[in-house]
Structures are given as C-alpha cells and as structure tokens.
Structure 1
Amino acid sequence: MWLLFGGGLLAFILYVSAVNVNFMNLFGRMPNLRTLENPKSELASEIYSADGVLLGKYFRENRTPVDYKDLPQNVIDALIATEDVRFEQHSGIDFKGLFAIPYYLLSGRSRGSSTLTQQVAKVLFRTREDLNDGTLNSDGKLGLLITKTKEWLLAIKLERNYTKREILRMYLNTVDYGSNAFGINTAAKTFFNKSPKQLTTPEAATLVGIVNAPSRFSPAAHPVRSKRRRNWVLQQMVRANYLSADEMRRDTTQAIVLHYSVENSAQGLAPYFRTEVAKYLQTWARETDHDLYADGLKIYTTLDSRMQVYAEKAVAEHLALQQKWFSAQWKGQLPWRDENGKVIPNFLATSMRRTQRYKSLMERYDGNRDSVNYYLRHKYRMTVFSWQGEREMLMSPMDSLDYYKRYLRAGFLAVNPLNGYIKAWVGGPNYKFFKFDHVRQGKRQPGSTFKPIVYTAAIDQGYSPCFPRPDVATTFPGEAGRPPYTPHNFEGGYSGRTFTLRQALARSMNSITAWLVYKLGPETVVAYAKRLGITSPIDPVPAVGFGASDCSIYELCGAYGTFVNKGVHTTPIMVTRIEDKNGNELRQFVAQTKEALSEETAYVMTNMLQASTTEPGGTSTILHTGFKFPFQIGAKTGTTSNYSDAWFMGITPDLVCGMWVGGEDRSIHFRTGAYGQGARLALPLYGIFMKKVIADKNISINTQPFPAPAAPLTIELDCSKYYGSMQRDTIPYDQKLTQPSTNDLDDKDI
C-alpha cells in the first residue's frame, strides 16, 4: 500500500510537472511568468469629447474595469457565498470542496469544484481555447483533465502573485454577463443603468446569479427563471452569514425592475464621427501594435458634445420639415427622374444590383436569378425609420429600397478654423438606418460654394472686389472634342447691367464667375483649389468655377477655414491625444498647417463672403433679416443642376460650418428651386444650429468682427462709391422664384 501510495504520488507529481512544462508538446502551452504577472483581458476603448463627455466605446467584448474600492460589498458577498464560500481560506484550490464532489454527486445535489481563482484563470488565459493545443488535448475526459490541471496550476500561481482583493477585482471585471456585457461595471449599466456602487442587494444577487449561465439566467430573456436564481443567491448569502433571514425574506419578494439597454455603436452622440475616428486610428493601431477594440485606450477628441447635440437636433428638425415638403411634392409619383424629368426605367432593380444583399443572394444561389428575385420580393416584418419614430412594417427588400430611396439625406460639419478642431459632425439622418457618411465619405458637386475659390484666384491675380463687370454672356470656345460652352445665370438670362465682383459673389452670378474663369484659366482655378486643401480630383474644364467636380463637406470646411485663419490652411482633425488603460499618454495629435494665401487675400475673401449676408440681393441676407443674427457672418449658398445638391457654407471668426442636403442618388431631388436651392434647402440648417449654439451661454464662440490684418490693406474694400452708376436689384439671382407651395402642409410648418 505504501508503494502504491508513493508510486501514485510520484506519478501525480510527474504528471503535474509535465503539464506545467508542456512535456513534448503533449499538454499544450502554459502562460509564462510575464503573462501571469500581466494577465490581459479585452477592455473596451473609450472615446471622449473635448468637454469630457463619454461619446461611446470600441469593443468586441464590452468591458470597462473598475477598481476594488468601487465594488460594493453586497456584490462581493453574493459572489463569495454563491461561487466560493471558502475563498478566503484556500490558496487557489479548495481541497475540501474538491473531495466533497463524490458526496454531492451521490446525494444528487449540484456543486461546482472550481474556485473563484480557477474561474479567473479560465477566463483570463482562455484555458479551453488558447491553451488547448497539445497532442493529448481533445474534447474527451483526458482533455478535460488536462485543462482542469492547468487551471489548478494557474490558480495557485495567481494566489502567489495577487492578493485576494485583486483576484476578486479580476473576476468581477472579466466575467461574461451576457447581452454583450463583460464585467460588473458594464453589466450594472446594461441591466439596471447604474454604477456598481448603486446596486441594491437584490440587484447584486441578480447579476451574480447570471454568471453561472448568462443565456439561461438573463433577467431580460428569462425573468421568472432569473428571479428564482436571484432568490437562491440570497439564500446562499444567508447561509454564509452575509444576510439575515429577515432581509432575505424582504428581498425575495421584490420584483426585478430592469432598465435594460445593450450598448452598440449606433447609440450615443456622434456615431458618424466615432466611426470615422475608428477608421483613422486603425492605421495608428497597426503601426504601434495596439488593438483599438481590446486595449482599453482612452481617446480624447476635438468634438464639443454640446455643439454636437445641437447639430444633431438641427439636422433632425430641418430634415423632418424638408421631407414633408419633398413627400408632398412627389406624392403618388416616382421621384427618380432623368434630366428631362422622365422616370428612370428599372431604377430600383438597378440600384438593388449594387447592394451587398443582392451580391450575397447571388453567391448563395449560384447566380439563379429566380431564387434571388423570390427572396428580394418576399415580405418580412422589419423595423424602419421615420421622422415620427421607428415603425414595424411588413416589407420585402425591394419595398425597403423603394421606401428609403425617397428619404432626403444631409451632412453637417462644424470646425474651428484656427486649430482645425472638429466641433460637430453629423453624417446623415440616423446612423442606425443610414450608415453612409455625407461629411467625408460622400462627395457631390459643390455648385456655387466652389465660386469663392475662383474669386480668391482673381484677388491674388490683381482684381479688386470693386472691379466692375457687366452681366453678359461669356462663351468658352470648343476644344478637345467639347462644343462651345456658354454658362447661364440661375434665372437663365443676362441683365446687361454692371456689377462689382463683390456684388457678383454675393448674388452668386454665373456670368461674372464664368468671365473670371475665362480670364484666369481653369488650370489656375484648379491650382488654387489644391492650395486650399481640396484633395478630390478636379477637372480643369470651363465649368470648374461652378463646382462641376465632386468634393466633400470636410474638404470645403478646410478651404473656407483658410480665409478665416489668415491664409493658413489647417487640416481638420478629430483626435487630440490617446492614453493607455493606465493613463499613460501614447500620442498627441496636431493639425497639419500650410501657408496657402497671403493674410490680406484671406481677409478680403472673408469680407466678400460677408456681402452674401449684407448686400441687397445677397443669397444669404435671411441670416440677418430672418434669423436676426446681429454679428458678422460670411456665407455662400450652392445649388447644382436639377437641384440635386443643396449646399451652404457659413463662417464666423472661430467657426466654419458646412452642410449639404439632397437625395441618396442625384436623380432624386425637388422639382424646382423653390424647394431645392441651397438658400432654401441647406441654409436654414445653419440658422437653426447657430440659434441653439448662441442661446447656450456655456458655449463660447467669437461673435466679434473678423480681425483685420495688422498691416494696412492695399486692396480697396469699400465699393459703395461705385454703386451710384449701377442699378441695384434687391432680389437675389437664385431666389427669383415663387414661394414653396403650402399644399399638404400643416399651418405650424409654414
């Protein structure tokens, strides 16, 4: 017997030693000492606004750790009583509980043998996934024995390296509670919208009860079963003397009241912005060997959470009304039209073929169009977006495509031009339903918002804002296979009267812009666009001055910011710094700058842009006459052919705002400029936003006059003395239109 005992003990020691060193790779890897001292679990990275508001998280496992001091005693008591009642007495392995397993099995009672420390080892080191790569590892009993042995060894080592408090903290910060909630901090927020410290004893017992089987005991999915489990945890707390019998009876009668909300990327402020930040940081993460979704980084951005709230509200308010007008105008008709106003045949079928759903179905059914068409027209119950709130509807994918194609889209960006800090970013109507970002991802023809670049080139080439030019036609001769080109004014004709360049820009007159392009050359205009930060391809064609080439709101805000920032182009930036999970700074970010214009030219352009809001006939005078803004604002409206794109750019001394409104496709638009021009479809969005910002006394923006250069100006700005010989028309060229029809609109909308 002694020989058998000694031999068995020796065999056990040899077996444990072999597992520990992974003898001949039979048992799979074991963590080294460095890994053991720095166990790593996936931590959600957090992204913050400039004013310290948590905007959201990046994660695969939504886990945000808490310190031991922030763990409430009721959670700790419930955990120990339920999972490891002798936690304070053992050193990683509970031999008393281990040898009691046969008794529990014979008596029919359930009991697990893993201590809290072993469970920590299992989760932290993924013993059943990452360390399960030995020759003898399998899904059978031998593989389970090897895995258990590793967990015993790791538990002992953890107990040697960490205090009991540290092990408890690791457990509560790593365990899975279901509903994509990892760790007690996220679980408390997900199920009860509380911090761990705020949890009541019944709530603590509920969360502790989940960890044994998250899908089985979830209070959101199985409330009755979860309540029984919670009451059992409370009974265990009584047995362990953590709770009195009276307290247990009181707590077991309480209902589980949830404030259930699973965090996802579509929730919270600035989802389009956060998505763009993630794209931007992926390159940095790869270069520096970081994982944006697992390293618990702290990302500090330039965004102002208050401005962001106002921007999102302004987009929602403005688009809801514009959508009502749009739907009324196309009621009972198909809005996708060609240049002649005729319905585009097979528009939806063609659009569907460009979707990922169509490509996936074609791949699944080996190109069988009959099968694909069947599923494209099969109706499902789905949740859809509306400006009155989400709705449940029975729709096929083709119905859904038809439904969403009729919705107007928008993009809005606000930037501080002095440092490039992005203050607000709204990429669309609703991120949950419209993922495409119209601030940077989307590029459309900018229309007349491109004209200031032409005028910038003209000022640099010696033209004065007071330079007179008659409103007559300019014809570009045909070349390179192109026919002769004669741009027309917005209303179609020419007045023959003389206007200064300042007046021409204020009224957005195409005839005088065309003449400037003719004199300067399209190549010169393209060169200035590049100097001002337009990175999208621009064709050097006669129509370049009217925004014929696509660009983004992001690019235009950088260009207009150059005027405000004394000729220095500052690339808009999103992130200021990144810290690791311990608060150590990993990197600071600074905007890239370059000298693009002279300070004088930049100031002249800010002055000329103000004419749009102050000159009789200016396209943006409503900012002073309607919105009643008492401070200087530079502005420019933009409208493209067939009213497919409506733009507006607004500048003040420390804020540049750019916005676009239109359909998802260029063929979807309003019928006339009465609804579809920039001054009507885009400008009011700026007014709504600025009204909200100005009303918030906690937001400091500069409403003083634009600062003049220190050196005396060499360019004349006061053109009033030239106006005596010029006839003045107080109606803007792109506003000589009837008012929008009030049919099908409520009185409160008019």
Structure 2
Amino acid sequence: MKWTLYTASTLLLLLFLFYGSIYFGMWGKVPNKKQLASLKQSQATQVLDKNADLIGKFYIYDRQSIKFEGFPQHLIDALIATEDSRFYEHDGVDNKSLLRVFFKTILMSDESSGGGSTITLQLAKNLYGREDYGYLSIVVNKVRESIVAERIEDIYSKQDILTLYLNTVPFPDNTYGIESASQKFFNSTTQKLSLAQSATLIGSLKANHSYNPRLFAERSQLRRDVVINQMLKYDYINLKQANKAKQDKIELDYQYYAPNQGLAPYFRAHIKKQLDTLLQQEKFKKPNGEVYDIYRDGLKVYTTLDNTLQKYAEEAMREHMTNLQKQFEKAYGENAPWLKNKKTFLAAKQRLKIYKKYVSQGLSAEAIEDSLNQKKETELFSWDATEVKSMSVLDSLEYYSKFLNAGMVSLEPSSGAVLAYVGGIDYRYFQYDHVSQSKRQVGSTFKPFVYTAALESGMDPCTYFPLEAVTYTDVDNWRPTNASKIEDSENVNYSLEKALSNSVNTIAVKVLYETGVNSVVEQAHAMGIESDIPRVPSIALGSSNVKLIEMATAYTSYVNHSVPSSPIFISKIEDKDGNVVASFEDLHPSLKNDRQKAFSDDTRQVMLEFMKATVNEGTATRLRSTYGLSNEIAGKTGTTQDNKDGWFVGITPNLVTLTWVGNDNQQIGFSSTAIGQGANSALPIFAKYYQKISADDDYKDIANAHFEKASSEVLSSLDCEVIKKDGFFKRLFGSNKTEKKFDKKEKKKKKGIFGWLKKDK
C-alpha cells in the first residue's frame, strides 16, 4: 500500500510539474488571454467584379472571413455532429474523450479510439500550429492546446468560437476557411451551400488530401454520407432529408484563384500592379500609417470587370485561336520561319537572355550550342491539352515561336469601365500583357483618325479621291498601294465613306496629305492616344506602334459624345471590416473635371456612318454574312505590313471592343493576307463574343442598343454616290498614266499644305 501510494503520488507530482512546465511556457510560449482577445489572422484580398462576384484573390493563405450569420444552420449542425457532438456541454476540453485518448491511444496504442479533440481544441491547433517534441509531441501539443482552448472558452462565446473555427480551419487544395472553400469547390457563397455540399466540405476536414472532392470524388462522397449519417444520429435532420442528400452526386464548380489560373488572370495581374502603386500613397494607408498588405490584410477590391462578359471573351478567344493556329501552321508547312536553322529562328536564339549570358561569359559557339541543347522535362502549352516532354532551350524556342497570341478589351464608352480584358492566350505560359504592355503597329485601324482630322479641317464627306497609286518623291519615292485590286483603279474615284469602309490605302494617304500630318497626329492624341506618333505620311496606313488599351480608348469617343473615355479598372477598395479605403472619387479625381471634345458632333455622326458602312458593305461584312450578327455595329479592320498584325475594333452604342492577333516575334507574320488580314485573324473573336452576348437575355441593353440618329444636315452631307468615274472627255484628254509624282513645281505650288514634308525629310 505504501509503495502504491508513493508511486501514485510521485506520478501525480510529475504530471503536475509536467503540466506546469507547459503552462508556464517551458515547451514554447502559450498565448495569454490578452493575445487571444485580439486574434489577427492573415486574410486573402478579394478581387470582385462589378456585381461583387469573386474574380480572384491575392494571398499567402487562401482565407476570407465571414460573420456567423453567413453560416447556414445545416453547416453548423454537420460540423458539431461530426467533429464535436458535446460542443455545447464542455468548456473547451472534453475530459471523457481525453481520458479515452490517454489510456487507449497512448498506453494501449489503439489508434482506432479517436483523437478526443473538440472544436475549440482544433481551433487552438489551427491558430498556433504544432511543434515537434519527439516522442512527447502528441502529449505536449495536446496539453498546450487544452490550455489555449480553455482560455478561448473564457473569452469567446460558443457562437464566436464556431465563427473563428470555420474561418480558419484548413480545407483541401491549400484553402483556409469555409467561405474560401465554398467559392473554390462550388463557386458559391457559404450561405448558399446545400446540405450535401456542406457535408462534403465538413467531411474533408478529417483528411484534406484523402477526402479532396476534386481528386477523389468517390471517396469524398462516402465520407460525405458518414457526415449525413452523423447528423441523422444526433437528430439534426430526419431520415427523408438524409436520404435525399445522399442521393445527390457531388458536382463541383471548381474555381482557380491562383495567380496563373482561373478567370481574368491578366486583368488580376494588372489590378495588382495598380494596387502596388495606389496603396503606397499616404491617403490610402492604414489609420496608423502602415501600408496595407494585399496578401494578408483581407482587402476587398471592387473592379469594373463583368464576370460573364469576361467568360464570353475568353471562350470566344479560345474557340477562334484554336482553329486559327491550325490554319497558320498548315499554311507555312515545312517553310515555317520558326523552324531551327531558319534565319528568323537564329535571330531569335541570339536574343535569348541565356544566350547573351553565355556570350558574356566567353563561351565558344560550340559550348553555347551544347548548353542550349541540354534537355529536361518541360510542361508545354497546347490548345488541345498540356503535355510534358523532354525539351532543350532551343526545342522550346522553336515550339513556342509558332504560337499566335491575342489581346482583347471591352470598354463601356460612357464611363470607361473595363468590362472584359484578355491579355493573352494563356497566362500560365505567356505572361506578357498585350492589352496594357505591348505596342504593335496598328495598321488600318489608324485610318479613322485620319478621316476624323480631315472632316474637322473642313473636308466635305462627299469629297472624292482617285484610286490610282501616287509616287511621293518627297518621301524617297514612296508609292503606297492597296492590299488587293479593288477595281480597275484608273479613272475611278471613291467618296470618303467608300474609301474608309473598304480600307483603301492610296486614298488614306491622299486624305492625310490634304489634311496635314500635324493635324492628324494632334487629332489622334486628342482622342486618347498617348504613345508617340512619328510625323511621317506612313502613319495613314498605321505604321505607328500603339497599345491596345489606347486604341480602344480612342474609339470610345465615337459613342461618347466625342469625348474619349478614361479606362477605369478599380471602383472602390474596402478593408476586411467593410470600411472604405479608397472611394471612386479618390481613385479617379481627374474625372471630376470637364473633359474636352476631341471633335464635333457632326464629325462623330459622319464617322459612325462611315464605320457602319464598313460592317454593312466593306471589309467587315463577315459579321453579317458569316456570323449572322444583325445588331447595330460599326467597326474597322486593320492589317499591318507583311501581315504581322490583325486588328478589329467593334463599336456598339454601349460597348467598344478591340481585338488583336499576332506573333510575339514581330519578324513572324502570316503567310498570306487571306489568313492574316484583320477580318480573318481578329474579327472572328469579336464576332463569337458578340454572338454570346446577343444570346444572353441579361445583356439586351448591349445587344439591342441603337446608335444615335444622325442629324438631317449630316444625312444630307452624305447623300452622294460612293463611286464616281471620270467623264468621257476627262478620260479622253486627261493623263493615262497610272501614277503621278509630286515634282518640284507641284511641291512649290503645294508648299502651304505639304510644308511639313521638307521639315521631316
């Protein structure tokens, strides 16, 4: 008896000392009540669309918190029935369960006895993690968590504990908190989860990987049914509800919120750049002067994007580019410029950073070639499916050089709101943003600026110009021609409408000469083009390099009372508690000022009629004939020299959309105009996009909108034949040459109009 009492007393003393050593932090600091009362968890910044629907997140841990009112009752019931049936009865530690763990799990090594953990204990673990203490790890961590759990119970109500738990518990795929899990797996808010969906997510808590519904659907479903049975056991649901829930198959609507995946990745990357700059400003800092951390502080960034339009835009791009890529490769065949040992490939190889690095290190040509041919396993982009192959640097260069890329942006002209934004074909493999970063030759999409400037200078809409080509001796005998034989050009004259709608090069240059290059450049800048425009006559054919977002901005002026819109991406920023960090007025103070018109109302109405003719009778008639669009649409196609860039701008009363297609290597163009012209390469993206919009009843305000009616004066000024042939006597006695030269006499005669040529020369 003495030895028994002595042994028992010694064991109790040792246990007391052991517990005390943990309590007083000898095994690691235990948070006190003050620290627990001010819990601060890292939260993901949410990027929301115009309807407050989630687009994506910036995070270290994918977590976004919600209030208790956001939890459906069946979610709470599923959690308690499965994880802690006596939750409302204990003070954080379920002593019965702990005794079972001690005797069965530790002393008898019976792992089937369970963990004895409560929701509050799990919360303590979620908040502070576990340390490795060797063979004592499970005991030390359990005791430490029990101390924290009891302190949590002293500070927080049961409702608060459930809220903290559900906002911090880890779910599959590196997701933290029920709201993030609901959005990721079911594209739903927590509040809208069904009983079966709630049971699926709660079931995954037992083992995040093993019960991941994305990876193991059947296993996850079996675990879900266990949760439902537990709810039935504890009378949270009846038999009918249980059977109905178990009959439902798990149907995921999985959302990728990683930076390289999911909806609108280029747009999200652009938003991040804007936030990095905005949040450094003094007026947008925290009250204590600290800068907001977009990865931890749980901001809500409200943007102008429309999730549905973005989805339509990405689908349209993929559908068209998949087919266009096949046409592109087939047309070149074995003569493709991206193939090894071709001149274009060799030039691209010498531009590689790794190649330049080897050269700077003094490696021989043979050694460089050997290094660049070392192979490794590489995941490759493909329109069909990604695949892994053994590839060298040169293999990869050849493989990726063949791919066409694309850019697309849709603006609401009245506000400048960016509603859809596609910066490239796949952000995982092509992270260069073609909307806001890339500058490409704009081709014939520049011509409307020339015609707008001409009308503003006083040129009559019914002015006629001859189709025939002219050699300009003042510009190194430059002789612009048309892409194809439009008609027998001799003795044929086109009106401005016919010339623009059919994108006639020869007349575009003549219109620029009549108007003056300075006037055209100033007109383009007034319409929102910020890039430098060389003051040379070739700009009439789009030789200048401009960003896509600038071109889209300029075209908004045609449906925004002659005023170019300013592109807007962010409308408001809130902190995690809903306090406004930056309002619309804070973010866009310049919009308060009165904007200047870029041209007159009459010019706007005339230009709209010209560009409607482009769609109805000119280079963009495929919208009607091939794609069956009957909406009111104006537009302009564009193709650059050697078919390297294809463009299309689609203008509707409430939406301006610009599309571009080309190769990132600007030495590689399309093999023919038939494939590379804007009407074939870029226009179909807009067409497919607009087909989807027109089929959606929610977008009738866009699809069914009507242009403003032109005034009677404007309609009268356009009342003329679009083609006029020279009369008999002019054909008989006039020059029969197919070209003209501006000789010195003519230059002197025209000095007032063409004086800029001498200066530029």
Quick check: TM above 0.5?
A: yes
In the alignment, structure 1 residue 697 sits paired with structure 2 residue 697: yes
**Which residue identity is paired with 2:474?**
P
Work out whether residues 42 and 63 of structure 1, in 8 Å CA contact, stay in contact via their aligned partners in 2.
yes
**Which residue identity is paired with 2:532?**
P
In the alignment, structure 1 residue 445 sits paired with structure 2 residue 441: yes
Give the distance between the partners of 1:655 and 1:74, measured in 2 at CA. 44
Cα deviations across residues 365-389 of structure 1 (Å, max 9, x unaligned)? x999969956854253746422xx3
SS in 1 for 2:697: coil
Which of 310, 313, 333 matches 1:311?
Answer: 313
**Which residue identity is paired with 2:482?**
N
**Which residue identity is paired with 2:688?**
I
1:256 Cα deviation from its structure 2 partner: 10
**Partner residue of 1:116?**
119
Instruction: Describe the shift of the 1:233–1:283 C-alpha distance in structure 2 as closer, same or farther (beyond 3 A).
Output: same
**Partner residue of 1:670?**
670
Instruction: Describe the shift of the 1:223–1:301 C-alpha distance in structure 2 as closer, same or farther (beyond 3 A).
Output: closer
Pick the structure with more helix per residue.
Answer: 2
**Partner residue of 2:417?**
421
**Partner residue of 2:323?**
321
**Which residue identity is paired with 1:333?**
N
Give the distance between the partners of 1:614 and 1:243, measured in 2 at CA. 65
**Which residue identity is paired with 1:530?**
H
1:488 Cα deviation from its structure 2 partner: 3.5
In the alignment, structure 1 residue 164 sits paired with structure 2 residue 146: no
In the alignment, structure 1 residue 510 sits paired with structure 2 residue 513: no
1:176 Cα deviation from its structure 2 partner: 1.4
Structure 1 window deviating more from structure 2 (82-91 vs 550-559): it is 82-91
Give the distance between the partners of 1:373 and 1:116, measured in 2 at CA. 60
In the alignment, structure 1 residue 490 sits paired with structure 2 residue 483: yes
1:438 Cα deviation from its structure 2 partner: 2.4
Instruction: Describe the shift of the 1:343–1:211 C-alpha distance in structure 2 as closer, same or farther (beyond 3 A).
Output: same
Structure 1 window deviating more from structure 2 (180-189 vs 7-16): it is 7-16
Cα deviations across residues 186-238 of structure 1 (Å, max 9, x unaligned)? 4466668887675768x877755654664577577789998999899899999
- Counterparts of 1:591-670 in structure 2 under 5 Å? 593=591, 594-600=595-601, 601-614=603-616, 618-624=618-624, 627=627, 629-630=629-630, 632-670=632-670
1:260 Cα deviation from its structure 2 partner: 9.1
Instruction: Describe the shift of the 1:411–1:497 C-alpha distance in structure 2 as closer, same or farther (beyond 3 A).
Output: same
Give the distance between the partners of 2:181 and 2:221, measured in 1 at CA. 17
C-alpha RMSD over aligned residues: 5.1
Instruction: Describe the shift of the 1:611–1:333 C-alpha distance in structure 2 as closer, same or farther (beyond 3 A).
Output: same
**Which residue identity is paired with 1:107?**
M
1:413 Cα deviation from its structure 2 partner: 1.9
Which of 439, 460, 465 matches 1:464?
Answer: 460
1:445 Cα deviation from its structure 2 partner: 0.5
Give the distance between the partners of 2:715 and 2:224, measured in 1 at CA. 79
Instruction: Describe the shift of the 1:372–1:154 C-alpha distance in structure 2 as closer, same or farther (beyond 3 A).
Output: farther
> How many pairs were matched up?
691
Give the distance between the partners of 1:255 and 1:718, measured in 2 at CA. 64
SS in 2 for 1:263: coil
SS in 1 for 2:163: helix
Give the distance between the partners of 1:167 and 1:574, measured in 2 at CA. 38
- Counterparts of 1:167-178 in structure 2 under 5 Å? 167-178=161-172
**Which residue identity is paired with 2:534?**
D
**Which residue identity is paired with 1:648?**
F
**Which residue identity is paired with 1:447?**
G
**Partner residue of 1:558?**
553
Give the distance between the partners of 1:45 and 1:661, measured in 2 at CA. 33
Structure 1 window deviating more from structure 2 (150-159 vs 560-569): it is 150-159
- Counterparts of 1:704-723 in structure 2 under 5 Å? 704-708=706-710, 717-718=717-718, 720=720
Give the distance between the partners of 1:286 and 1:149, measured in 2 at CA. 44
Give the distance between the partners of 2:71 and 2:235, measured in 1 at CA. 16
**Which residue identity is paired with 1:421?**
A
1:628 Cα deviation from its structure 2 partner: 5.3
Give the distance between the partners of 1:542 and 1:29, measured in 2 at CA. 76
In the alignment, structure 1 residue 535 sits paired with structure 2 residue 538: no
Work out whether residues 632 and 652 of structure 1, in 8 Å CA contact, stay in contact via their aligned partners in 2.
yes
SS in 1 for 2:612: helix
Work out whether residues 498 and 723 of structure 2, in 8 Å CA contact, stay in contact via their aligned partners in 1.
no
Cα deviations across residues 567-590 of structure 1 (Å, max 9, x unaligned)? 212112233334444444444436
Work out whether residues 59 and 295 of structure 2, in 8 Å CA contact, stay in contact via their aligned partners in 1.
yes
Cα deviations across residues 681-711 of structure 1 (Å, max 9, x unaligned)? 22333333333333433312254233447xx
SS in 2 for 1:477: helix
1:640 Cα deviation from its structure 2 partner: 0.8
1:566 Cα deviation from its structure 2 partner: 1.6
Give the distance between the partners of 1:453 and 1:384, measured in 2 at CA. 38
**Partner residue of 1:405?**
401
Work out whether residues 531 and 545 of structure 2, in 8 Å CA contact, stay in contact via their aligned partners in 1.
yes
Instruction: Describe the shift of the 1:377–1:570 C-alpha distance in structure 2 as closer, same or farther (beyond 3 A).
Output: same
Work out whether residues 436 and 547 of structure 2, in 8 Å CA contact, stay in contact via their aligned partners in 1.
yes
SS in 2 for 1:437: coil
Instruction: Describe the shift of the 1:680–1:230 C-alpha distance in structure 2 as closer, same or farther (beyond 3 A).
Output: closer
Give the distance between the partners of 1:421 and 1:564, measured in 2 at CA. 14
Work out whether residues 337 and 668 of structure 1, in 8 Å CA contact, stay in contact via their aligned partners in 2.
no
- Counterparts of 1:135-154 in structure 2 under 5 Å? 154=148
Work out whether residues 61 and 180 of structure 1, in 8 Å CA contact, stay in contact via their aligned partners in 2.
yes
Work out whether residues 646 and 662 of structure 1, in 8 Å CA contact, stay in contact via their aligned partners in 2.
yes
Work out whether residues 188 and 199 of structure 1, in 8 Å CA contact, stay in contact via their aligned partners in 2.
no
SS in 1 for 2:269: helix
Give the distance between the partners of 1:544 and 1:566, measured in 2 at CA. 26
Give the distance between the partners of 2:575 and 2:330, measured in 1 at CA. 53
Which of 377, 389, 397 matches 1:394?
Answer: 389
**Which residue identity is paired with 2:277?**
T
Unpaired segments of 5 or more residues in structure 2?
A: 1-5, 286-290, 728-761
Cα deviations across residues 256-306 of structure 1 (Å, max 9, x unaligned)? 968595734355443333333333333334443434344444444333344
Instruction: Describe the shift of the 1:446–1:229 C-alpha distance in structure 2 as closer, same or farther (beyond 3 A).
Output: closer
Give the distance between the partners of 1:466 and 1:187, measured in 2 at CA. 63
1:563 Cα deviation from its structure 2 partner: 2.0
Give the distance between the partners of 2:108 and 2:20, measured in 1 at CA. 34
**Which residue identity is paired with 1:550?**
N
Instruction: Describe the shift of the 1:382–1:447 C-alpha distance in structure 2 as closer, same or farther (beyond 3 A).
Output: same
Which of 256, 264, 268 matches 1:270?
Answer: 264
**Partner residue of 1:280?**
274
SS in 2 for 1:570: coil
Unpaired segments of 5 or more residues in structure 1?
A: 130-137, 728-750
TM-score by length of 1: 0.75
**Which residue identity is paired with 1:277?**
I
Instruction: Describe the shift of the 1:96–1:378 C-alpha distance in structure 2 as closer, same or farther (beyond 3 A).
Output: same
**Partner residue of 1:745?**
none
1:553 Cα deviation from its structure 2 partner: 1.9
